[in-house]
Chains A and B, each alone.
Chain A
Amino acid sequence: MIAWESFIYFAALSALLAFAGAIFALRSQKRSWVAIVFNVLSILALGSFVAGLWVTLSRPPMRTMGETRLWYSLFMLLAGLITYIRWHYRWIFSFSTIMATVFMVVNVLKPEIHDQSLMPALQSIWFIPHVTVYMFSYSLLGVSFIIALYMLFKPQKELFRVADSLVYGGIAFFTVGMLTGAIWAKEAWGHYWSWDPKETWAVITWMLYLLYIHLRLFGSTKRKWLPLLLILSFLSLQMCWYGINFIPSAKESVHLYNKN
Chain B
Amino acid sequence: MRFMLSTKATVIAIAIVVLGALGVAFIPDFTTHPLFIVALLFVQSVILLVTIRGWRRGKKIRWRFVLNHAGLWLALFAGFWGAADSQTLRVPVSRDKETREAYYQNGVVTYLDYTIRLNDFCVEYFSNGAPSHYEANLIIDSDIVAVTVNNPYSRSLGEDIYLVGYDVTKGSDSQYCILQIVREPWEKCVYIGILMMLSGALMLFINGPKTDKR
Across the interface, do B152 and A172 meet the contact criterion of CB distance under 8 Å?
Answer: no
Nearest Cβ on chain A to B70's Cβ, whole angstroms = 15
Please indicate the chain A residues that have their CB under 8 angstroms from the CB of B212 in the complex: 217
Closest to B88 in A: A190
B17 within 8 A of A: yes
A116 within 8 A of B: yes
Number of B residues whose C-beta is below 8 Å from A? 47
Across the interface, do A211 and B15 meet the contact criterion of CB distance under 8 Å?
Answer: yes
B11 within 8 A of A: yes
Against B, the Cβ 8 Å flags (1 = close, 0 = not) of A177-220 are 00100111011111111010100110110011011001111101
Name A115's contact: one of B21, B24, B130 (CB within 8 Å).
Answer: B130
Across the interface, do B131 and A172 meet the contact criterion of CB distance under 8 Å?
Answer: no
Q: Pick out which of these stretches binds chain A: B99-107, B112-120, B167-175, B195-203.
A: B195-203
Across the interface, do A164 and B88 meet the contact criterion of CB distance under 8 Å?
Answer: no
Please indicate the chain B residues that have their CB under 8 angstroms from the CB of A195 in the complex: 24, 31
Across the interface, do A172 and B205 meet the contact criterion of CB distance under 8 Å?
Answer: yes
Across the interface, do A204 and B130 meet the contact criterion of CB distance under 8 Å?
Answer: no
Closest to B128 in A: A117
Across the interface, do A168 and B208 meet the contact criterion of CB distance under 8 Å?
Answer: yes
Please indicate the chain B residues that have their CB under 8 angstroms from the CB of A197 in the complex: 25
B150 within 8 A of A: yes
Across the interface, do A179 and B198 meet the contact criterion of CB distance under 8 Å?
Answer: yes
Please indicate the chain B residues that have their CB under 8 angstroms from the CB of A193 in the complex: 79
A124 within 8 A of B: yes
Across the interface, do B88 and A220 meet the contact criterion of CB distance under 8 Å?
Answer: no
Can you list 12 A-B contacts with CB-CB less than 8 angstroms, sorted by A residue number?
A117-B132, A168-B208, A175-B197, A175-B204, A187-B150, A188-B149, A189-B180, A191-B182, A204-B18, A211-B11, A211-B14, A216-B209
Partner-A contacts on B (CB < 8 A)? 7, 10-11, 14-15, 17-18, 21-22, 24-25, 31, 75, 79, 88, 126, 128, 130-134, 148-152, 160, 162, 180, 182, 184, 187, 190-191, 194, 197-198, 200-202, 204-205, 208-209, 212-213
